[in-house]
Amino acid sequence: MTDVRKVLRVLGGAGLLLSFGVATNQVLNNGTLSWTWMYAAFGFGVLSLLLSERAVPAATEATPHGGRRVYLRQLRASVRDMETVGIATQSEFVFRMRQVYVDVSVVPQPLHNATREPYLGSVSGGERRSLKSVLRDADRDAASRVLAVIGGPGSGKTTLARNTALGLCEHRWRPWRRRLPVLLYLRDHATALLADEPPTLGTVAVSAGWLEGKVPARWLDRRLDRGGCVVLLDGLDEVADRADRDRVVAWVARQIQRHPDNVYVVTSRPHGYETNPLPGAEVLQVRRFTWRQIELFLRQWAFATESRARQGTEREIRAIANRNATDLLTRLRGQPALYELAANPLLLTMTANVHRYRGQLPGSRAELYAEMCDVLLHRRAEARGLSDATGLGGPHKRHVAQHLALAMMRARVRDWPVRDAATAIRRPLRQVPGTVTAEVFLTEARKSGLLVEREHGVYGFAHLTLQEYLAAAQLGDSRTDSTVLTTHVDDPWWRETILLWSASNDATPVINACLDRNTVPALALALDCVDQARTVDPEVRERVDEVTTARTDDPADAARLRLLIGVLAARSLRETIQLDDTTALCARPVPRLVYRQFVRDEREAGRHHDDLVDPAGPEADHRATVGMQAGDAERFVAWLNAVTGDAGYRLPTPEELHDPAAATSVDLAHHTLWARHAERTVLHRPDGAPWPYSAPSAWLRTRPVADRLRLMPFLRLLALPAEDRNHIEGWTRVLLTGITHAEEIPGSPHLAPLELPLTLALALALDDARAHLSTRDGSAPGPGRPDPEADKPFTRARRLIEAVSPALIVDPSLRFGLNRATDFAPDNGRALTIALHQAYERTLARARELDPDLTHDPNGPYTLHFDLRVAVEAALPLAVTLDGALDLNLNDAPALNAVFSDLDDSLGIAPALDLVFSLDDNATTGGLPIAAAAFHALTTAAWRYLPGPNADFASFDDFMTRRATDVPAGPSPRPPEDPATDLRDLSARLRATQHRIPRDPRALSMLDETVALLTSMRDRRSPSDDRSLACARSALLATLAILRREDRADEEAVQALRLAWQSLTALPHFPNQLLLLARTQP
């Protein structure tokens, strides 16, 4: 037929030339163009060429009209549905490929690496490519045209081949470059391929059941000869016998040689390819699913299921589907073992089916593990009509596998040499029919995917969870000695096996053993068994409740309480994600419930912690704790190891946090995580997460002035004579007592006298001072009674009230909320804090509505927050000076008038409540001398820059602001997460180079004092409050100013100081730091 076509092409070309030659005289006759003859000539030529392209059919084989269209229609119909071969719990619906398919990715790998890659577990980082992109490279000769796709059981190899074929069927653009897909399941054609004279590729391909009789083999052979086909050969490993596989590989190689202009893709499990590699093939390793791929599949699967299962609008159905998918995703996050199994597409599909049709996970996880083991052992092979060399049925294989798992648990190994594994199963093999040897059973179990070969001659279960489940199943056999369970209740190695055993048995003896052992691991296991066991005796349940309850106010129960705190911590952090054989990552960040206990213990030890703001909701205690600092992270790890009796907890390394498994535990887009690197505590910042130590530029500009305003009144107080300072301290301690015991006042006779001062103090700060004074003594200065001296406090109070009044005007509910704050009734002793917070939030919201510029200005909320905070902080304390119930004559107290003098309005008015706490014996004023020295140094450094004798505070403030914000052009490093440590290193460097580069001793001395203050705050030996931070920031600015005055300024040191100052400015306003711990396992 090819010869005939050539002849027709020659005749067609000749006819076309002849038509033009004959028509020349007619088309251009006497110089006149004849359109009729032109059309006739052109039509005759085209008809000749078309006839030349029409093939002459053979006498015995007719070519169907539209063969390509028929072929693609049949292939598309055969691959458009998802396959779930061998799964016991099936969905009642069949889904289209396009509805639920998530493309697995591949990565080029050397053969020896691909065959050792585990097919279960969390996914390591690295390159990920789609097969489609590799095929494009092959088209451009940028990659091999022979590809071997290697992956473990259930990794999605067959589905990848089917989806690739489907995509090529539907690829309609640029039809002259369309590639024709050719799909063969090698297991279906093994007999033909192993014949003495095997057929050609085209003959084998058209013999498939979905295509038989629709197109002739010669049509497909011609397409293969022409090139441009993608030949997908699935399941090389499913040709069981090694010699037979050799012959199939040889046949594939001959077809590649015969039709070289096509791309060939062969899929296989590792064991089927390693000993029979295809010559010249590039190896592609199928990657396991990432967390994002798992989430995408489950959401698509849930939507496809709900779309078929219920009626409703698409929006309603999608909402239900998203809710169901989110529930399962949450459970997977809480069960790391389930997540690691779900990274395998087949097991992920099984997980989704079991969760929907057999009960919610993790309660049904034993059933899920049972299905997984059955699928790997025998069910999938049986569904595909494949046999193995053991000749054993599913229950018999399971019997042997259970004995192997229990033997490995007893030996405390994850991997075992073949000789040890064979010894463990010889007796179980004699208990089942047949004469299969241990070595043959192990080989077939490896082929099935239940076992993997870690290295040559060393086998292990594909996942430790499968080993633990099979061991638990064997321990459930009445003929098996189960005393191993009660003797290992405080052994982490046996914990999951005991829980899986309890799910199907009466856990009473195990729980009794836990209570008798009375250790943290044992009591934690007892509580878990009570939750998960099939049955437990009621008396034992009561005993658990009694043992796990301790009175926090009973000193005799202190040891019991500490033990229970350890149990609480151990249970909260028990779920882990295995990174390697010795390292695991906790599945969830440290929850508030555990961190609160740490803070409580630290406070009892005299350390200073801010109050945790408890979020609302039933799950608040289990939410992640946010905002701890570097020193907190270090001390928490030490505390946790002490209370749990487990020295294995530690901060992870940045490399461990880069593992994709970390993404299943934490929202990496919004949080940073504490880590340990090179003997330092560092903050790991995932891509896209905000840095919590970077403050908005508006904050940086206003902070130096705000610090000066905050500190000056304290520094003036320090400058007073000792007698005056003692007088003020006595007055403030009275108020301190009232504030710290506000909740006790209504029910305590000896504190009752404080109720009136406190109520009036708060009320006067937020309402009309004159009116409240009138209600107290029936008189008030007014127009008829001028009293300038007595009116001074009212003038100051009125200024403060006027500062707050804009907020009251913006939202009247603020006034109501603040007035409610004066009520110290027994049922709302903390009404002050709550009302202020609620009123402030309403004010912010209302202000944004009234001022569009505030909404669009990114710094607007920070500015408003700063203004309101300063106003309220100033208003609350000052009105206390108006209350005579404290038995203090304001007009006769020169010391107090000195503190609140109007000598310079720019210095502001002293925040009395801050004075109360700073002067208390339990607080520290250690930062104030540093601040005093800092402002002295700043004044000296600023002298040359201030405008002569007319210098004022505005000029001084401008000098400080420029020193803080004068940043060189270009990108700047991030402010440090641990400024105390960075500054300590800087101090050491400056002192080490002092002999070469002399520096002002004042700078070194102030830097050392600042480091000491920050280290004390880092260790929580002193509070990290606003005043202490203001002292440290001011000292850093002073050190920076001194260094900048030197002839050879150390720009590196200057930058380090400025970055540390920025870090302290942001602290603690933008918290997103989490604690996600690692565990080192023996």
Domain ranges, residue 400:
388-480
Q: Which one has a higher pLDDT value, 420 or 366?
A: 420
Average pLDDT over residues 622-644: 94
pLDDT-derived band at 982 (thresholds 50, 70, 90) equals very high
Q: How far is CA 146 from CA 149, 362, 765, in A?
A: 10, 43, 82
705 and 812, same domain (yes or no): yes
Average pLDDT over residues 56-85: 72
Average pLDDT over residues 241-250: 90
573 and 658, same domain (yes or no): yes
Average pLDDT over residues 162-187: 80
Please state at what angle helix 558-572 crosses helix 630-644, rounded to 10 degrees.
Answer: 110
In 540-640, which ranges are E strands?
Answer: 576-578, 583-586
Q: Which one has a higher pLDDT value, 229 or 886?
A: 229
How, if at all, do strands 263-268 and 415-417 pair? unpaired
Q: What is the CA radius of gyration of the chain?
A: 40
- Would you mind telling me the total number of residues written for the chain in this entry? 1082
858 and 709, same domain (yes or no): yes
Q: What is the pLDDT of residue 181?
A: 95
Dihedral of CA atoms 389, 391, 397, 401 in degrees, nearest 10, equals: -30
- Domain with residue 231: its CATH number is 3.40.50.300
DSSP reduced 3-state for 856: helix
166 and 135, same domain (yes or no): yes
Residue 618 CB burial class (10 angstroms; 0-12, 13-18, ≥19): exposed
137 and 199, same domain (yes or no): yes
Position 20 pLDDT exceeds 60: no
d(CA 1048, CA 299): 63
Going by C-alpha positions, the residue among 290, 266, 285, 288 that lies closest to residue 277 is 266
d(CA 122, CA 579): 8
Angle value at C-alpha 710, between 707 and 713, nearest 5 degrees: 135
Q: Does residue 615 sit within a domain?
A: no
Side-chain half-sphere exposure of 665, counting CA atoms within 13 A: 32
Q: What is the pLDDT of residue 654?
A: 94
Average pLDDT over residues 979-1000: 89
What does the block give as tokens for 199? 């057929």
Residue 819 CB burial class (10 angstroms; 0-12, 13-18, ≥19): middle
Q: Does residue 322 sit within a domain?
A: yes
Q: What is the pLDDT of residue 252?
A: 95
Side-chain half-sphere exposure of 258, counting CA atoms within 13 A: 14
Q: What is the pLDDT of residue 205?
A: 93
**Region of poorest pLDDT, from 34-43, 284-293, 364-373, 606-615:** 34-43
Position 103 pLDDT exceeds 60: yes
Neighbours of 627 (CB within 10 A): 17
What amino acid occupies position 179?
Answer: R
Percentage of the chain modeled with pLDDT above 90: 35
Q: What is the pLDDT of residue 46?
A: 52
Domain boundary pick from 446, 480, 514: 480
Q: Which one has a higher pLDDT value, 835 or 542?
A: 542
Position 474 pLDDT exceeds 60: yes
Position 861 pLDDT exceeds 60: no
Q: What is the pLDDT of residue 404?
A: 97
Residues 377 and 398 sit within 8 Å (Cβ to Cβ):
yes
pLDDT, the chain, mean? 75
| Ranges 141-150, 198-207, 833-842, most confident | 198-207
| Ranges 169-183, 376-390, 940-954, most confident | 376-390
Residues 149 and 108 sit within 8 Å (Cβ to Cβ):
no
Interval 956-973: pLDDT, tens: 788 888 888 887 766 789
Q: How far is CA 635 from CA 520, 587, 595, 639, in A?
A: 20, 21, 11, 6
Peptide bond into 362 cis (omega under 30): yes
pLDDT-derived band at 601 (thresholds 50, 70, 90) equals very high
- Domain with residue 469: its CATH number is 1.10.10.10
Q: Does residue 226 sit within a domain?
A: yes
Going by C-alpha positions, the residue among 611, 625, 598, 1020 that lies closest to residue 833 is 611
Q: Which of the 8 DSSP states describes residue 238?
A: G
Q: What is the pLDDT of residue 725?
A: 56
The sign of the dihedral angle between the CA atoms of 203, 205, 207, 212 is negative
**Region of poorest pLDDT, from 81-90, 491-500, 638-647, 696-705:** 81-90
Position 172 pLDDT exceeds 90: no
| Ranges 20-29, 50-59, 147-156, 738-747, most confident | 147-156
Going by C-alpha positions, the residue among 575, 521, 512, 504 that lies closest to residue 544 is 512
Position 565 pLDDT exceeds 70: yes
What is the number of domains present in the chain? 7
734 and 868, same domain (yes or no): yes
Interval 485-522: pLDDT, tens: 999 998 989 999 999 999 999 999 999 999 999 888 99
Dihedral of CA atoms 550, 552, 553, 557 in degrees, nearest 10, equals: 40
d(CA 936, CA 929): 11
d(CA 1004, CA 59): 103
Going by C-alpha positions, the residue among 1055, 1025, 1034 that lies closest to residue 929 is 1034
Q: What is the pLDDT of residue 1082?
A: 64
Position 873 pLDDT exceeds 80: no
What does the block give as tokens for 650? 């530690």
Interval 755-798: pLDDT, tens: 544 444 444 443 333 333 333 344 333 333 334 443 443 343 34
182 and 33, same domain (yes or no): no
Q: Does residue 842 sit within a domain?
A: yes
| Ranges 17-31, 65-79, 142-156, 676-690, most confident | 676-690
Position 1079 pLDDT exceeds 80: yes
**Region of poorest pLDDT, from 61-65, 531-535, 1007-1011:** 61-65
Q: What is the pLDDT of residue 856?
A: 44
d(CA 925, CA 935): 16
Q: What is the pLDDT of residue 842?
A: 43
Going by C-alpha positions, the residue among 883, 911, 917, 887 that lies closest to residue 759 is 883
Q: How far is CA 1076 from CA 482, 576, 884, in A?
A: 36, 11, 53
1031 and 889, same domain (yes or no): no
Q: What is the pLDDT of residue 806?
A: 39
Q: Does residue 490 sit within a domain?
A: no
For the chain, the first-to-last Cα distance in angstroms comes to 74
264 and 327, same domain (yes or no): no
| Ranges 28-32, 269-273, 407-411, 746-750, most confident | 407-411
d(CA 424, CA 405): 9
Domain boundary pick from 438, 464, 480: 480
- Is the whole-model pTM more than 0.75? no
Q: How far is CA 867 from CA 706, 764, 870, in A?
A: 11, 20, 5
d(CA 825, CA 4): 107
Q: How far is CA 698 from CA 155, 314, 359, 865, 1027, in A?
A: 53, 46, 54, 12, 20
1053 CA to centre of own chain: 36
Q: What is the pLDDT of residue 382?
A: 76
**Region of poorest pLDDT, from 534-543, 612-621, 1008-1017, 1059-1068:** 612-621
In 304-436, which ranges are E strands?
Answer: 415-417
44 and 189, same domain (yes or no): no
What does the block give as tokens for 1003? 């700078």
- DSSP for 409-446, please give it: HHHT-SEEEHHHHHHHHHHHHHTSSS---HHHHHHHHH
Average pLDDT over residues 199-221: 90
Q: Does residue 462 sit within a domain?
A: yes
863 and 775, same domain (yes or no): yes
Domain boundary pick from 429, 463, 480: 480
Q: What is the pLDDT of residue 965?
A: 84
Position 458 pLDDT exceeds 50: yes
Position 877 pLDDT exceeds 50: no
pLDDT-derived band at 885 (thresholds 50, 70, 90) equals very low
Q: What is the pLDDT of residue 432?
A: 94
714 and 675, same domain (yes or no): no
**Region of poorest pLDDT, from 239-243, 351-355, 811-815, 823-827:** 823-827
Average pLDDT over residues 1033-1055: 84
Interval 293-352: pLDDT, tens: 999 999 999 999 999 888 889 999 999 999 999 888 888 876 777 878 888 898 898 888
Contacts of 204 (CB under 8 A, 6+ apart): 184, 189, 192, 193, 198
Percentage of the chain modeled with pLDDT above 70: 68
Q: Does residue 366 sit within a domain?
A: no
Q: Does residue 125 sit within a domain?
A: yes
pLDDT-derived band at 882 (thresholds 50, 70, 90) equals very low
pLDDT-derived band at 13 (thresholds 50, 70, 90) equals low
Contacts of 319 (CB under 8 A, 6+ apart): none
d(CA 711, CA 1026): 10
Average pLDDT over residues 683-708: 91
What does the block give as tokens for 1031? 């002292």
Average pLDDT over residues 473-483: 90
